[in-house]
Structure formats: structure tokens, C-alpha cells
Amino acid sequence: MFIPNKCVLLAGCGLMAMASPAMAQDVPPAATQTDTTATDDIIVTAQNRAERVEDVPIAIDVVGAEAIAQAGVTDFREVERIAPVLQITQDSQYTRVAVRGVGTNSNDEAQDQSIAINIDGEYLNRPNILNVSLFDLDRVEVLRGPQGTLYGRNATGGAINFITRKPGKEFGVNLNASYGNYNAIQVEGGVDVPFGDFGGIRLSGIYTDRDGYFYHPNIDQRSGSAGTKGGRASLRLTPLSGLTIDLVGEYVEIDNILPTFASVNLNQGGRAPGAGCSGIGYTEVAPLTPGTQCIPNRTSFLQTIDRKSYAAPISGVSPNHIESTAIRGRLQYDFGAATFTYTGGYRDSSQDTYQALPPAYEFLEFDNNVETQSHEIRLNGNNPAGGFQWQVGAFYFNEKLDNVRGLYNRFIGANGSFINFFTRASEIKSYAVFGQVDVPLTETLTAVGGLRYTNDDRTGVFGNYGFVFNSGRVDQTTVRPAPSIITPEAQGDKVTWLAGLNYKPNRDTLIYGKVSTGYKAGGFDSVGSYDPESNTAYEIGGKFGVGPHQINTSAFYYDYKDLQASVLLNPAVGGQIFNAGKATIWGIEVEGNFKLSRNDTFSATFNYLNAKYDDLLAAYPVFDVGGSATSVGDLDNDPNTVTQPNLSGNKLPQSPDVIITLGYDHVFELGNAGTITASAFSRFKSDYFLDIFNWNDSRQRGFTQTDLTLIYRPANEKFSIQAFVRNLEDAQPLGFAGYTAAGPDDIYNWTFGAPRTYGGRVTVNF
């Protein structure tokens, strides 16, 4: 077991902009929302209006452009380093995110995210395209807790807003370039060209290239590489007083080798459970059912894996290619009494992936296209600070998915065969109307209320070719009609609401309490439909400014119903979604940012989370000794009853009980020569699981990761030179863990996080 080094935690110090909301001191006022003169205040738009972060009754992390650049964030997985409250993991090609234990652990084509993710107001929903667009960022806002009123469906756990840089009012150029181990090259930059009072344009781009983090000696290849090319043109026009028009065009191309699964085959090397599930770590789960069904709930195969160097599947590594084109627009007009805002986005993404799966399978994607559009209109009342505030709006989202893929094995038949081959076409249409008001009751007390109505309509056309013998690597839709087609549908609507009180006795103090609800749409998989999930959250919190110091606290309790949980029971069918009857989540959070002196800043956070299923009827994937079953959903074999496995008491995936961060930053003044800033940041996460079963081989032990930086800036601050080390301890936490029963192949799979990285960075601004 890994025990965190207390010395590392106590000495750990950090890129301070990473640890608490008050640390994003480099965040300028939101140019896309307001023309407020720059101050030391951090301005955010989490509630669809520009306001100081200390005035927002939401537990929120804000990270500004300078901290993002220093951390080298160009990948969604790296956001976790600048907002440690996030749990971000990668199942090869799919990125998963959880906040306060709420997330999505499904690879199902039609499964939605539990965290609303927006880029300049454009809503992203697919886990395989979350890595696009994350360059040339102005700031990142991470909102914790349900955001159902203003952000709508699929914001049961929170929301993440990425705000890109907009054209400046003066000509300017910025460039960040870095080089590090694993031959990591990263170049990112942009240029602002003003049009006088009429507006301006910003052209920006990114290029990254990196060798793979993981070596596979059996094939002498590496996986987990990076390769991104992208460009963005951001146009801002101000043709009339009070009118601002933003238009963004963007293209991103990703070429990389996905992290290859590490695995053990339970049928080889003496790992099988044997008669009566007598093997070490196995348990028989259905003794009244004919045969012997075993689960590897207490095995310790993960301990045998070297997380940097392990055997790849016989089928090799997994090249991945994604192209994404997006157009975003925003129009804002100030009428005086109110401001009208339209925000819209359109994105067309395609993915071509050859994914190797242990021991000798290949998951071939012949078509994976996603087309989305989102539109929102909003009217905000313009009232004096502290007065009655209101907003009303409407939202529309449409997503079309088109997937053609199959699981292939080259060793079955002379030409190889598809274990399964299927098509998945589906469409989501979602409409919503919403409103929120802030009503002053006294000079210091304000009541907040909000409502949102959402209507969802999801349809699909699923074709299943089943097992196709001796097919070769051929798209089956081009050679034969689908033998079976189903047309699933799912409709639903929901009213979400917010009620709260805010007490603000002075500029630097806010105490709030609220009850809010969140809603995640229901849907269907290839087996059947599943219900929406809902969350009723109770939260109290405070934000306290004491001189130059800032302390934020919050305590929350979630009553979660019909929580959607995913498990793969039959590879020939695909993943299945189960609705947990109920889950309870509660926790406390404390964050502090302390200005110890002119040149010294200390930051710390403590998060405690208790996230467990109260009731979850599911099914076990099993090792069927001498039989062919791959799952068990009935434990007693009674024809009159069905007794399902109940995972009550299990922890939700990606839910460490404790997260602690410590940061320290010291500035050495060199007179006319400039400054050197030494920073360090350490985060500790306790044990957590990667699956709903909480099996031992799906458990990540507690670990620490420490980042160190040294930055030189001359007096004119036109450039900086940085040396950095990330993940000093070289901890590589689990990104995925899961047991798959596939007939003759009973496989435990894992992926891992990044190892220690280091390098240098040069930043130029003029």
C-alpha cells in the first residue's frame, strides 16, 4: 500500500493558481461579458453575468490564463492539475470527469455526461471530443454542485466553462513554447489585430507532439502519445454603442496513439479460479445456479503490472485520428434596462480509431461522426449592484451520432471474424426555458430563486450484425444488410429549481445556503431503456476575505435517485446502463489562500467526500468455470423470483474520501534584472475505485503528486523562462480498471496516468 509522505505534503507547495478560487489572480475582467476596468478582483460569468468571484454563491474554482499557460494545459485530462477537485480519468479513447463523486463511467454511444462542459457557451457532450479546443484559453471556471437552473440537463454534478481569449484593443503577440522529456514539444500562441473602435481579430494556434508514456517490450512500441494541430480565428465587432458581436471559427486535428490497456488473462498463468472458486481472491456468487460462477473481487493481479512497461495485446497499439470543426457566435446588445444575448455553436467531429484490446482483439471504427448545435437566447435585467436582478432565457440543443464499429479477432477463420458488428445512429433534441431572480430582502440579505423546464427527445436506429465468421477487416454495411434492427426511443421532461439565501454583511464576506436540483436525461442502450437520474442538493457555504487572505468553506448533502451506472456484461451486446435506486453523497470543503508577505503566498485545500450507493441492483460479470456464461443477474435460480446482486454500500467510482492540496509561492526580487518565482504544489488523494463493484483490482491506492516550477521574468515582463517538474513522485494512478468476461477470454484491463515529466518553457508577450 502506498502511504503518502507527510514531509512531501507539508513541504508541498504549488502553482498557486491551482489550489483555490482566490488564486486565479491573473484573470482579467471577462471581456466577453463586460467592459469593467481591470482591478485586483477576479471577474467570472458563472451566473450569466459579470461579477466578482467572491460574490457568487457557488463553490467555484477559477484559473486564469497565466496559470493555464504555466501548467501547459492543452488537454482535458490536464485540467485536473489546475483544479484538483476534479477527477479526470481516461479509458483509452474516452475521457471521464467527476465532481464530488458525480460523473459518468459509460462508453455507451448515447450516454450523456454528468458534468456540463461548455466552450464559450458551446455545449460539449461526447467524452471522445473533450480534448479539442483547449488552447489559447483566458480562464477556466469549475462550478461544483448541481447547476440545473442556468446550465440545464446533465449538470447534476456541476459545470466547467472554458473561456477562450478574445481580440485585444491593441496589437499584440503572445507565444508559449516548451520542450520536455518524452520528446514533448508544445507551441501555442496568437496575435491580436485591432480595427480601431470597430473591433478586432485574434488568430491563434497550437501544435503538440510527444512520444508515448508507455513502453510495450513484446512489440517494441510505445503508446499514450500526443499530437495536436489546431487553429482559431476570433472576430470581435463593436459597430454600435452597446452592441458586441463575437464570431469564432476553429479547426483541430488530433493524431495520437491511445494508451494501450495493460491486462491479465485469468485463463492463463494459473490465475483461473478453479473448482468451487477456490483460487485466491475469487468468490462464488450464485451457488444455486448450475455451473460455477466466480467473480475476481479480491484478486491482486494489478500488483504484478509495471505501469510504465507492460505487454501490449497481440493486436498491437491503437492509432487515433480526430478532426473537429466548430463555429461559435455571440451577439450582445445593451438596451439600457436589459441586455439581450444570443450564444450559438455548431460542431462537426469525426473519429477514426483502431483500438487494440487484450488479448488479441481489435475494435475497428469505420465511422464515428458527431454533429452538434446549441443555441441560447437570454435577457438580463440591468440593475444597480445589490438591486433586484433577473434573467430569462431559452435553450435548444441537437446532437446527431453516427457510429459503425465492430469487435474483430484475426485468429478466428482464415481472414479473421467479427465477434460483433453494429451500427448506432441516434439523435438528441433538447429544449429548455429558464429564469432566475435575485430579490433583496434587506441591505444584507438576498433571496435567490430559479426554475428551468427541460424536454428531451432521443431516438435511435441500432443495427446488429452479430457474429460474422471469416469476414476480414471489412465494413459489413458495404457487403450485407443488417440482420436485426431496433429503433429505441426515450422521451422525458423535468423541472429543476433553485432556492437560496445570500447574506452579505460587507464587501468581503458572503454566507449562503441553498437547495438546488439537477437532472440527467434518460436514454437507451442496445438492451433497453434507462431512466433519468436526479439530484437534490443541500449546501451551505461561506466566502471570507480577511485583508489579503481568502478563506472559502462549503458543506453539502446530495440525495441522488436513479443514478445511472454502466457495466459491460456481454461484449457481443455492448455496455448496459443500470439505474441505482438511490445514492447519498455528502462532504465538506475548505480552501484558503494566504498572502504571507509581499513575496510569499500559501494556499491549501481540504475536501472530504462520502459517496455511496444506498441501493443498486445490477449484474456481475463472471468467470464461469467449465461453462459459457459471461454474467449473472439472478443469484438464487428460483423461477418465481429474481434476486439481483445489490451493490448497496459500495463507493461511487472516482470518489476519493480525501483530497488535500498544499501550495507555496515565493518571489525573489532581482532589482532591475527582474524576478525569479519559485513555486510548488502538492496534492494528495486517498483510495478510490474505478468501477461500481469496488473490486480490489479496480482500486487506486492513495497517492501524492507534486509539481515544481522556477520562472524568471525580466523587469519589463515581455518574456519569461520556466523550468518545471510535474508529478515529482512519478505516481501513475489508474485511469481505467475493469473485468471483462468474453467467453474463452476473461480479462482484467487497466490504463494509467502520466508519469513524471519535466522540461522548459519560454513565454513571449509584446
Q: Is the pLDDT of residue 695 over 90?
A: yes
Q: Is residue 703 a part of any domain in this protein?
A: yes
Over residues 200-241, the pLDDT tens digits come to 999 999 999 999 999 999 999 999 999 999 999 999 999 999
Over residues 292-322, the pLDDT tens digits come to 999 999 999 999 999 999 999 999 999 999 9
Across residues 181-185, what is the average pLDDT? Answer: 97
Q: Is the pLDDT of residue 77 over 80?
A: no
Cβ(507)–Cβ(489) under 8 Å?
no
CATH code (residue 152): 2.40.170.20
According to the model, what pLDDT value does residue 124 have? Answer: 82
Q: What share of the chain has pLDDT > 70, as a percent?
A: 89
Q: Is residue 196 a part of any domain in this protein?
A: yes
How far apart, in Å, do the first and last CA atoms of the chain sit? 50
Name, in order, each residue with C-beta under 8 angstroms of 467's C-beta and a sequence gap of 6 or more.
Answer: 417, 418, 419, 420, 572
Cβ(137)–Cβ(160) under 8 Å?
no
According to the model, what pLDDT value does residue 648 have? Answer: 92
Across residues 508-532, what is the average pLDDT? Answer: 84
What band does 665 get if pLDDT is binned at 50, 70 and 90?
Answer: very high
Cell digits of residue 188: 501555442
Q: Is residue 194 a part of any domain in this protein?
A: yes
Host domain of residue 623: 6-765
What band does 2 get if pLDDT is binned at 50, 70 and 90?
Answer: very low
Q: Is the pLDDT of residue 537 over 90?
A: yes
- Compare 32 and 662 and report the one with higher pLDDT: 662
- Give CA–CA dist 283/572, Å, rounded: 25
Q: Is residue 720 a part of any domain in this protein?
A: yes
Cβ(437)–Cβ(414) under 8 Å?
no
- Report which of 302, 399, 368, 295 is spatially closest to residue 624, judged by C-alpha positions: 295
Per DSSP, 442 falls in state S
According to the model, what pLDDT value does residue 225 have? Answer: 95
Q: Is residue 595 a part of any domain in this protein?
A: yes
Q: Is the pLDDT of residue 284 over 80?
A: yes
Average of per-residue pLDDT values in the chain: 86
What band does 576 get if pLDDT is binned at 50, 70 and 90?
Answer: low
- Report which of 607, 629, 608, 609 is spatially closest to residue 619, judged by C-alpha positions: 629
According to the model, what pLDDT value does residue 27 have? Answer: 33
Q: Is residue 577 a part of any domain in this protein?
A: yes
Q: Is residue 599 a part of any domain in this protein?
A: yes
If one counts the domains in the chain, the total is 1
According to the model, what pLDDT value does residue 170 have? Answer: 92
Q: How far is CA 174 from CA 168, 187, 191, 721, in A?
A: 12, 11, 7, 14
What band does 11 get if pLDDT is binned at 50, 70 and 90?
Answer: very low
What b/e sequence results for 192-205 when a residue is b if at least 16 CB atoms lie within 10 Å of its CB, and e otherwise? bebeeeebbbbbbb
Q: Is the pLDDT of residue 655 over 80?
A: yes
According to the model, what pLDDT value does residue 40 have? Answer: 62
Longest dimension (CA), the chain: 85
Over residues 601-615, the pLDDT tens digits come to 999 999 999 999 998
- Give CA–CA dist 264/133, Å, rounded: 36
Q: Is the pLDDT of residue 402 over 70?
A: yes
Across residues 529-547, what is the average pLDDT? Answer: 89
- Give CA–CA dist 41/62, Å, rounded: 12
Q: Which of 112-121, 450-459, 676-685 has the lowest mean pLDDT?
A: 112-121
Q: Is residue 1 a part of any domain in this protein?
A: no
Over residues 115-153, the pLDDT tens digits come to 888 899 888 877 667 767 788 989 888 888 888 888 877
- Report which of 134, 126, 200, 198 is spatially closest to residue 164, judged by C-alpha positions: 134
According to the model, what pLDDT value does residue 256 have? Answer: 93
